[in-house]
Amino acid sequence: MKAKVYVTIKQNVLDPQGNAVQGALHTLGFGEVGKVRIGKYLELELDTNDRAQAEEKLKVMCEKLLANTVVEDYRFELEG
């Protein structure tokens, strides 16, 4: 089974990288670009077929390590 994990910066937390990219896109002429937020994307291969258990464990992985829930949100998708 494969998991796709998305870690994003909380809406109330400043994202200076996103702001810099927004500025760069404006410089390139993409004036339609509003707010830009940069996050992380992780692909995990899981050695299991038990979907419910995989979801449960992924939640723990995200809470413990993959995301810092003080400043980040996370979500994940399971495939296969």
Site residues (CB under 8 A) for other proteins? 9, 12-14, 16-17, 20, 65-66, 68, 70-71
Given the complex with other proteins, which of 5 and 54 has the nearer CB atom?
Answer: 5
CB 10 within 8 A of CB 72: yes
**Minimum gap (Å) between residue 39 Cβ and other proteins:** 12
**Minimum gap (Å) between residue 24 Cβ and other proteins:** 12
**Minimum gap (Å) between residue 18 Cβ and other proteins:** 10
Kindly tell me the number of DSSP H helices and DSSP E strands found in the chain.
Answer: 2, 3
In the numeric block, which tokens belong to residue 25? 């896109």
CB 74 within 8 A of CB 5: yes
